[in-house]
Amino acid sequence: MDLNVPNFAGITLLPQFQNIPLELDSARLYKFSLPFKRPLVLKHTTLNHRNGLILILTDIHGHVGLGEISPLPGFSRETLETVLLNTTMLLDKIMKTGEFTSHCNPSGGQSWENSASPSVAYFGVETAILSLLASLNDVLPGVMLFGKSSRKVPINGLIRGSLSDWVPEAERMINEGYKTLKIKVGRINSVLEARGIQDIRAFVGPDIQLRLDANRSWDLETAIEFGKAVEPAQIEYIEEPLHDPVDLPRFFDACGVPFAFDETLHQIMDPTISFESYTGLKALVLKPTLIACTARFISLVNQAKAKGVLPVLSSSYESDVGLTALAQLASSISGEDIAAGLDTRSALAAGTTKSPVSIQDGWMSAQSLTTQELDLSHCELLYQS
Ligand code: OSB
Ligand code: MG
């Protein structure tokens, strides 16, 4: 079935990639359930397994497009059951009619800015279509959207252990070649944590970037106290220090530590939200799996760039297929310049490729996966068309 691709789901491809017919042949949807090495403690839940869907599209010439759809419990609004339903409905429509209009698609009077929150099914299906088109055009997917891509992207090493492990973990990561580290804070006493951050800075020296993430753990007073204590450690930014993001400018005024939006972006679905009033805003942490549709993701990237705010691509514990797609997007939006938050694969004990998508010397490859590299032997085929 031919699919009209120049403008699908509110995504406009660069002119040279338009008018190329996409002749879909098959769609297959697999379910995976991958164990974590140890239970993954998140803000609102603890996970033993990462569950999600892998989508494989093929065209009549044998080109392949891959996508992943993995709502994250405690962060996504949707369950896997809901997205499975949404995905199969989308695929039925695409395969039967060749139409891919979603409520992410501004055509038809309904723009995604003022519609209900999109399903992550869209992002997964859009990724698979872009991946198939990229394979047809022999480019990386982001080239069709942003006109460029790098071959690899720098990654921030993720430190999420207990305080006593911070310096040894930082040492291991520096030895592995990471130049940017992200430390999860807001878990125990903030005074002790601030001291831990100073210890890391003293250990790694001035040339390593340090990012922190408090996942909205603090009231304004505690955050300011923490901020003042870590200010000399020259933090690149702290993600979501406050329960209430409205107080972020006051936090910055009081301690001078730049901050980043993460959860706030995924709660406020209005992407026309102005960042202008937020002095001290250094970065938008963009998790496509939570943003849930490509058009909204692109809009946030463009807004960040227009305001001199860093667009930092970040993962949500996707499997290898999803992580590769994220590395490819990062390679187009920030290339080799901004470390991406993709150091989550090491938490999983198994994956969806024969060898895990790896980070070498602090870099992740943006190269596409081939079907030969996939390992879906432990996955369940749920849909075929
Ligand atoms: O708070 O940034 C978070 C992963 C899943 C859910 C929430 C978060 C994360 C990460 C991803 O931290 C890794 C990163 O951004 O470096
Ligand atoms: Mg965060």
Q: What is the CATH number of the domain that holds 99?
A: 3.30.390.10
Both 159 and 135 in one domain: the answer is no
Q: Known catalytic residue: 287?
A: yes
For residue 211, the ligand 1 atom closest to its alpha carbon is 16
Both 109 and 241 in one domain: the answer is no
- The closest residue, in CA terms, to atom 4 on ligand 1 is 316
Q: Quick one: pLDDT band at residue 272, thresholds 50, 70, 90?
A: low
Q: How far apart are CA 258 and CA 227, in angstroms?
A: 9
As a three-state string, the secondary structure of the chain is CEECCCEECCEECCHHHCCCCEEEEEEEEEEEEEEEEEEEECCCCEEEEEEEEEEEEEECCCCEEEEEECCCCCCCCCCHHHHHHHHHHHHHHHHHHCCCCCCCCCCCCCCHHHCCCCCHHHHHHHHHHHHHHHHHHCCCHHHHHHCCCCCEEEEEEEECCCHHHHHHHHHHHHHHCCCEEEEECCCCCHHHHHHHHHHHHHHHCCCCEEEEECCCCECHHHHHHHHHHHHHHCCCEEECCECCHHHHHHHHHHHCCCEEECHHHHHCCCCCCCCCCCCCEEEEEECHHHHCCHHHHHHHHHHHHHCCCEEEEECCCCCHHHHHHHHHHHHHHCCCCCCEECCCHHHECCCCECCCCCEECCEEECCCCCHHHECCCCCEEEEEC
Q: Is the pLDDT of residue 111 over 50?
A: no
Ligand nearest to the CA of 157: 1
Q: Which of 98, 117, 141 is the last residue of a domain?
A: 141
Q: Known catalytic residue: 184?
A: yes
Q: Is the pLDDT of residue 114 over 50?
A: no
pLDDT tens-place string over residues 121-149: 999 999 999 999 999 999 999 999 999 99
Q: Quick one: pLDDT band at residue 106, thresholds 50, 70, 90?
A: very low
Cβ contact 176:155 at 8 Å? no
Both 207 and 164 in one domain: the answer is yes
Instruction: Give residue 19's pLDDT.
Output: 80
Cβ contact 322:288 at 8 Å? no
Cα–Cα–Cα angle for 335, 341, 342, rounded to 5 degrees: 90
Domain membership of residue 114 (yes or no) is yes
Both 168 and 126 in one domain: the answer is no
- The closest residue, in CA terms, to atom 6 on ligand 1 is 316
Domain membership of residue 295 (yes or no) is yes
Both 47 and 170 in one domain: the answer is no
Q: How far apart are CA 327 and CA 154, in angstroms?
A: 9
- Whole domain around residue 161: which residue ranges? 152-372
Query: CB within 6 Å of ligand 1 — which residues?
Result: 72, 75, 156, 158, 182, 213, 215, 239, 262, 285, 314-317, 341, 343-344
For residue 156, the ligand 1 atom closest to its alpha carbon is 16
Choose which residue among 153, 237, 344, 345 to substitute to test ligand 1 binding: the one with the highest number of ligand atoms within 8 A of its C-beta: 344
As residues whose CB is below 5 A from the ion ligand 2, the structure lists 213, 239, 262
Q: Quick one: pLDDT band at residue 73, thresholds 50, 70, 90?
A: very high
| Residue 49 CA, ligand 1 centroid: distance in Å | 17
- The closest residue, in CA terms, to atom 11 on ligand 1 is 315
How many structural domains compose the chain? 2
| Residue 9 CA, ligand 2 centroid: distance in Å | 27
Both 83 and 173 in one domain: the answer is no
Domain membership of residue 379 (yes or no) is no
Both 124 and 24 in one domain: the answer is yes
| Residue 305 CA, ligand 2 centroid: distance in Å | 19
Q: How far apart are CA 48 and CA 30, in angstroms?
A: 20
Both 71 and 210 in one domain: the answer is no
Q: How far apart are CA 348 and CA 328, in angstroms?
A: 21
Domain membership of residue 383 (yes or no) is no
Q: Give me the percent of the chain exceeding a pLDDT of 90.
A: 80
Q: Which of 112, 141, 170 is the last residue of a domain?
A: 141
Both 226 and 293 in one domain: the answer is yes
Section 4-27 average pLDDT: 82
Domain membership of residue 147 (yes or no) is no
Domain membership of residue 382 (yes or no) is no
Domain membership of residue 52 (yes or no) is yes
Both 132 and 257 in one domain: the answer is no
Both 206 and 326 in one domain: the answer is yes
Domain membership of residue 293 (yes or no) is yes
Check 152, 179, 184, 282 and give the catalytic one. Answer: 184
Q: Which of 141, 174, 201 is the last residue of a domain?
A: 141
Q: What is the pTM of this model?
A: 0.94
Both 73 and 112 in one domain: the answer is yes
